Amino acid sequence: MTEYETIIGLEVHVELKTKSKIFCPSSTEFGGDPNTHVCPVCLGLPGVLPVLNKKVLEYAIRAALALNCEIAEYSKFDRKNYYYPDLPKNYQISQYDLPLARNGYLNIEVNGQTKRIGITRIHMEEDAGKLIHQGTIATSPYSLVDYNRTGVPLIEIVSEPDMRSPEEARAYLEKLKTIIQYTGVSDCKMEEGSLRCDANVSVRPKGSREFGTKTEIKNMNSFKALQRALAYEVERQIAVLEEGGRIIQETRTWDESKGVTLPMRSKEEAHDYRYFPEPDLVPLIIDRRWVEEIRATLPELPDERRNRYIKRYDLPAYDATVLTATKEIADYFEECVALYPNAKAVSNWMMGDLSRLLNAHNMDITQCKVSPRQLTDMLKLMDRGTISGKIAKTVFEEMFATGKDPEQIVQEKGLVQITDEGTIAAVVDEVLASNAKVVEDYLKGKDRAFGFLVGQVMKATRGKANPELVNRLLREKIHSQS
Amino acid sequence: MITIKDVEHVALLARLELSEEEKQMYTKQLDAILEYAQVLNELNTDDVPPTAHVLHLKNVWREDEVGEHLPPDEVLANAPETEGQFFKVPRIV
Amino acid sequence: MELYYLTAHELHDLLLKKEVSAEEICRAVFDRIDAVEEKVKAYVTLTRERAFTRAQEIDRKIAAGEEIPPLAGIPVAIKDNICTRGIRTTCSSKMLYNFVPPYNATVVEKLEAAGTVMVGKTNMDEFAMGSSTENSGFFATANPWDLERVPGGSSGGSAAAVAAGEAITAIGSDTGGSIRQPAAFCGVIGLKPTYGAVSRYGLVAFASSLDQIGPFTRDVTDCALMLNAISGHDPLDSTSAPGDVPDFTSCLKDDVKGLKIGVPREYMGEGIDPAVKEVVGQALKLLASLGAEIEETTLPHSRYALPAYYLIATAEASSNLARYDGVRYGYRAEDARDVVDMFMKTRSRGFGPEVKRRIMLGTYALSAGYYDAYYLKALKVRTLIKQDFDRAFEKFDVLLAPTTPTPAFKRGEKMDDPLQMYMSDICTLAVNLAGIPGISIPAGFVDGLPVGMQLIGKPFDEGTLLRVAYTFEQHADYNRRRPSL
């Protein structure tokens, strides 16, 4: 049985979050009633002309710099001609032979190894509209068109075919998303369509120098879908080759429910896009000083930030990766450690309870009611012994729900830890007195009985008794009894 | 020089449906025009840059500001077929 | 002379002297339309009510003692490929038979701001593709000088309207000669400005790198006034030239002393009717007698202009016309099986044969495997053609040539052979390729038919064109003749 090597390249489209569209002043706001964010230009009415939104160029340069690309000195727009109902002019204004940026890369970590994935090019283009079908596109007797999305600015990021597994492809996409989010030019949400991905996949016998025939895979709407689709396609291609067949160069769509890729209905003809320079737009000469100004405003990017956390805060790589997953999370973390030096403690709480609650409520950290100051104040309360670790969990949940300060919550709910030995001793005596059988069990060797007794003391003190004291006093008294 | 097959291919690319008669006519006419256009090959243009724009304008752009939208009724006013606030088209194969 | 045959500046004087009202001017023009339009058929849409409302507004302003701009109250015709809000804009095509734009072209906004009164939308060759207005999807327009002949194209309706007194001035568009050629055929003045001088926003695109909007007038003064009104940078048009607009009326001087006029020999060659050459020759004599220095010159790549033009223009047009698919506006074929079928049927029925021919030619020129040989090659030849003009302008202030090889031809004469029809533009095409300004002025008559001569200028030097034209006009009266309709 031949061993095969997988070759994967990804084409990613990212929606830039400028306020207005790329070639007209219509709003890019997501949602909105159909055909309410349109004007004569993005509708492609007779006689209209495009005018470039400068911010789109700025954001595109920003993203390209974050991806280590070379920014072209001379760039221009071209028309890509094809017919489709969601494309008002039946051509898309895009860039063909002189794209904005080239020769970039990003690093991914897979199985503890760092690997560089090349980025061939990045170019600007306009988005098309949305089609709505009754049922599926194949069975619907008609379709409805909403042009709100036409003209929303996109950058297309084309990778080198450097990925060798579906895992690597996924890691690439996740890293790409994180880097671009850091630059602030896009939300990169696959579920909202601001991040879209198509893949080119082929296989070849290991050791072979030639590339196999590739297929294009579309309609992968999540990171998981990407990985599953690629895994399926690789297997499918290998199966075809093993049976002596040939791979047909085609576009296939991922069917999420069936878990397979299927050939897309073949288009009428192979696409001849008849690219030519857009006559309604003039060329761009990109000033080097402007590029450097933009570069200077880039934040510390994910890899650098992660490495800095490992060194500076002595955090494990895993923690550092989670804490730098988005710029907002990393900013939050650093605000915390500015107020409170125990980075690991902060990390634990952020990766633990904070993360859990955010996920449960489908929120991201920017919507969190707990401020860094409040979180660190809570940690300080723990250090001072005012509350125990267990009580802190309750306090935190309350902070998350209400946004109140920890001190206030502790006061209002009377959660101050009981640290007075005498008080605890009294409770311990009572518990021991009412649970003589359990004490006997424990002394006979049933260790779990101890936990029960601890629990009873905690119950009686409504969780506020200092756990170390409870443990110590219980042990002392039990052993002193016997 | 240009054949009926070429004309059929081009008509498809341009989304034009031609009758057999039209295909014949256009093949003849386009052939004559393209034949005439061959005269351009008399010129050596190896070192000549193409002129895509006559004015040497560069870097024309606008600020990122939201402007007025067309009211929805005006958007759909010229539409041959609509449903609610959507444009309606026949099935897409 | 009747009111409808006066010039805008003459009418302005009468308005200021209160010898006539804007409403009377409007009525004179519409009465004229009622009398002759059946024969001329210059208009696709008339905006009678709107015009009178406007004229009355202007009269109110005058009565209130307000200062009115030079073109206030002047009836202007607008070619039907220029978008007018709320008024049908068809490009004389079935494809847009019912299209009502929700916006105004910038030029229309400017003309309204200048106080003009829109008479209506004029007939044209469909989507501006043609040289006789016979390619209109609706009907043909007649030449007011001889109803059996064509008015020229593609702005035939606008030229005929001005010639026939159905408007005082008009605007059209020029991609390869579509203002200058009909101006010559109809005995009026037609100017194609430098590319970028007038905004293209709202002009339904034919060939984006060649199209320009320009005026039809009865004399050079009116031309300067119209140019003042419509020129200027437009932020909605990325190809619009920056900078301030000069006052073109300051160029209206009767003086060509020492002016160097070049006559390209390629434009006076065998393809030109001897009678036309004679008219141009006489005009040159006149200018020489007024002190101009005339010399023959050469534009060696002239013969390549036509093929280069027809590859570039059709390539851009094939893309610009892709949007006509029946989805959002215009005609839609009702009997389609699916959306692709709808595109096919809509476009096949909505477009006329010339439009389809050019779309196919342009698509071919851009298609895979042919781009370099056709489109790219044509763009390179365009550079050579431009360089010819640059070199000529190092020595000369203006160039002079016939506007057309012949006077107006008979209807139907050139409809069987597209190439023959394309040849009517050989004197005008190169000017669009180079993006420089050109004006056609009435220079004489042959067998009762007007003959135009063309002045070609340096980029943004419309001023010199106007000066030479104005001077000629002071010493000849061809522009003051009117057809006997």
Last residue of a domain, one of A366, A382, A412: A412
pLDDT value of position A270: 57
**A373: in domain:** yes
Cβ <8 Å between C310 and B33: yes
The answer, for C209 touching chain B at a CB cutoff of 8 Å, is yes
Residues A69 and A172 in one domain: yes
Which pLDDT tens digit goes with each residue over A75-108? 999 999 999 999 999 999 999 999 999 999 999 9
Residue of chain C with shortest Cα separation from A268: C340
Q: Report yes or no: A182 at the C interface, CB cutoff 8 Å.
A: no
Encoded tokens for C291 = 């002190």
Is B73 part of any domain?
no
CA distance C78 to C168: 11
**Residue given tokens 């973390």 in the structure block:** A333
A414 vs B52: which has the higher pLDDT: B52
Regarding whether A247 and A341 lie in a shared domain, the answer is no
Percent of the residues in chain C that have a pLDDT greater than 90, as a whole number: 96
**Is B91 an 8 Å CB contact of chain A?**
yes
Residue in A closest to B83 by C-alpha: A144
Q: In this complex, which of C239, C342, C357 lies closest to B89 when CB atoms are compared?
A: C342
* Residue A295 in domain: no
Say which DSSP state B86 is in: E
A60 and A33 co-located in one domain:
yes
Cβ C367–A81 below 8 Å, yes or no? no
Pair of tokens at residue C100:
């009502």
* pTM tops 0.90: yes
Q: Give the Cβ contact number of residue B28 at 10 Å.
A: 13
Per the CB < 8 A criterion, the answer to whether C460 and C197 are in contact is yes
How buried is residue C108: exposed, middle or buried, by Cβ count under 10 Å (0-12/13-18/19+)?
buried
Is C154 one of the catalytic residues? yes
pLDDT digits (tens, 9 = 90+) for C188-210: 999 999 999 999 999 999 999 99
CATH of the domain at A452: 1.10.10.410
- Count of alpha carbons within 13 Å of C188, Cβ hemisphere only? 40
Angle B48-B51-B54 (CA atoms, 0-180°, nearest 5)?
A: 140
Cα(C328)–Cα(C101) distance, rounded to whole angstroms? 12
What is the domain extent for residue A406?
A: 300-412
| Residue ranges of E strands in C111-254 | 117-122, 169-174, 189-192, 212-217
Q: Which of C198, C195, C197 is nearest to C79 (CA)?
A: C198
As a whole number of angstroms, the distance between CA C411 and CA C148 comes to: 6
Does residue A266 carry a pLDDT above 70? no
Question: What is the C-alpha to C-alpha distance for residues C26 and B13, in angstroms, rounded to an integer?
Answer: 48
Our CA-based measurement puts residue B56 at a distance from the nearest CA of chain A, in whole angstroms, of: 8
Q: Quick one: A474 and A362 in the same domain?
A: no
Ranges A173-187, A427-441, A444-458, most confident: A173-187
pLDDT reading at C95 higher than 90 = yes
Residues of C in contact with B91 (CB under 8 A): 338-339
Query: Distance between CA atoms of C64 and A206, rounded to whole angstroms?
Result: 91
Chain C within 8 Å of A255 (Cβ-Cβ)?
no
Q: Which chains touch C (3 or more CB pairs under 8 A)?
A: A, B
Last residue in a domain, options A240, A265, A290:
A290
Question: What's the domain range around B23?
Answer: 1-42
Domains of chain C, each with CATH number or no CATH: 3-259+430-480 (3.90.1300.10)
Is A407 in the same domain as A262? no
Task: Give the confidence band of A385 by pLDDT, cuts at 50, 70, 90.
Answer: confident
The whole-angstrom separation of Cα A93 and Cα A44 is: 12
* Residue in A25, A138, A142 nearest the CB of B65: A25
What string of DSSP letters covers A115-184?
A: EEEEEEEEEEEE---EEEESS-TTT-SEEEEE-TTTT-EEEEEEE-S-B-SHHHHHHHHHHHHHHHHHHT
Q: Nearest CA to CA, how far is C376 from chain A (Å)?
A: 9
Catalytic-role residue among C21, C92, C93, C154? C154
Confidence of residue A414 (pLDDT cuts 50, 70, 90): confident
Name the catalytic one among C178, C199, C302, C440: C178
Nearest alpha-carbon partner for A109 in A178, A61, A183: A178
Q: Strands across the sheet with A91-94, in order?
A: A91-94, A78-81, A276-277
Interface touch C366/A52, C-beta < 8 Å: no
Residues A193 and A230 in one domain: yes
Backbone φ/ψ region at C118: left (φ over 0), alpha (ψ -120 to 50), beta: beta
Closest to A39 (Cβ–Cβ): which among B9, B70, B83?
Answer: B70
DSSP 8-state secondary structure symbol assigned to residue A27? B
- Sort strands A260-263 and A74-75 into parallel, antiparallel or unpaired: unpaired
pLDDT (tens digit per residue) in A268-307: 455 799 999 999 999 999 999 999 999 999 999 999 999 9
Q: How many domains does the structure of chain B reveal? A: 1
In the numeric block, which tokens belong to residue C40? Answer: 């001329």
pLDDT value at A1 more than 70? no
The CATH number of residue B20's host domain is 1.10.20.60
**Residue of B6, B7, B13, B54 best to disrupt the C interface, most CBs of C under 10 A:** B54
Handedness of CA A18, A21, A24, A25 (dihedral sign): negative
- Whole-number percent of chain A with pLDDT over 90: 75
Q: Which residues of chain C make contact with A269, given a CB cutoff of 8 A?
A: none
| Closest residue in A to B82 (Cα–Cα) | A144
Distances in Å between the Cα of A233 and the Cα atoms of A165, A259, A464 are: 11, 10, 57
pLDDT of residue C416: 85
The rounded distance, in Å, linking the Cα atoms of B17 and C52 is 45
Given an 8 Å threshold on Cβ–Cβ distance, is C382 in contact with B50?
Answer: yes
- A80 to chain C: nearest residue by CA? C319
A80 and A224 part of one domain: yes
In the predicted model, what is the mean pLDDT of chain C? 97
Indicate whether A200 pLDDT > 90: yes
Give me the pLDDT at residue C276, please.
97
Is residue B31 one of the residues assigned to a domain?
Answer: yes
What angle, 0 to 180 degrees and rounded to 10, lies between the N-to-C axes of helices A372-384 and A389-402?
Answer: 160
Contact C153, C124 (CB under 8 A): yes
- Same domain? For A165 and A79 the reply is yes
Residues A156 and A190 reside in one and the same domain:
yes
Confidence of residue A350 (pLDDT cuts 50, 70, 90): very high
Q: Does residue B66 lie within any of the structural domains?
A: no
Q: What is the mean pLDDT of residues C135-164?
A: 98
Predicted confidence at residue A136, as pLDDT, reads: 76
Report if residue B26 sits inside a domain: yes
Pairing of strands A215-218, A251-255: parallel
**pLDDT value, residue A387:** 86
Partners of residue C233 on adjacent β-strands: none
Q: DSSP of C141-166, one letter per residue?
A: PPBTTBTTB---SSSHHHHHHHHHTS
What ipTM was predicted for this assembly?
Answer: 0.96
pLDDT tens for residues C255-285?
A: 999 999 999 999 999 889 999 999 999 999 9
Strand (E) or helix (H) holding A368: none
The pLDDT value given to residue C210? 98
C 239-278 residues inside an 8 A Cβ radius of B: 239, 241-242
Looking at residue A462, what is its pLDDT? 85
* Mean pLDDT of the A304-313 span: 94
**pLDDT score of A265:** 65
A430 three-class SS: helix
Q: Do C348 and B41 touch (CB under 8 A)?
A: no
Chain A contacts of B92, Cβ < 8 Å?
A: 85, 131, 133, 137, 140, 143
Cα–Cα dist B8/B18, whole Å: 8
Which of the listed residues A290, A311, A338 is the one where a domain comes to its end?
A290
The count of residues in chain C is 485
**Phi, psi dihedral angles at C94 (to 5 degrees):** -60, -30
Contact call for C332 and B80, based on CB within 8 A: yes
- Mean pLDDT for A225-242 is 96
Q: Which two tokens stand for residue C155?
A: 């702005």
Both A36 and A86 in one domain: the answer is yes
Q: How many domains does chain A have?
A: 3
> What residues of chain B lie within 8 A of the CB of C380, using their CB?
43, 45, 48-51
> Helices A421-434 & A448-460, crossing angle to 10 degrees?
120
pLDDT > 90? residue A440: no
Sign of the four-CA dihedral C356, C362, C364, C366? negative
Is A333 found in the same domain as A276? no
Name the residue among C88, C314, B55, B70 with its Cα closest to residue A44: B70
Q: Which of C21, C41, C79, C173 is catalytic?
A: C79
Average pLDDT over residues C454-475: 98
Option in A40, A88, A272 nearest C102 (CB): A40
CA distances from residue A138 to B93, C93, C165, C266, C348 in whole angstroms, order as listed: 6, 34, 58, 60, 26
Eight-state DSSP code of residue C479: G
Interval A357-383 mean pLDDT: 93
Q: Which two tokens stand for residue B40?
A: 């351009």
Q: Is B66 on the interface with C (CB under 8 A)?
A: no
- In the complex, which subunits touch A with 3 or more CB pairs below 8 angstroms? B, C
C213, C198 contact by CB (below 8 A) = yes
Please judge whether C236 and A51 are an interchain contact, meaning their C-beta atoms are less than 8 angstroms apart. yes
Poorest-pLDDT segment among A261-275, A378-392, C197-211, C298-312: A261-275
DSSP C254-292: S--TT-EEEEEGGGGSTTS-HHHHHHHHHHHHHHHHTT-
State whether A325 and A355 are in the same domain: yes
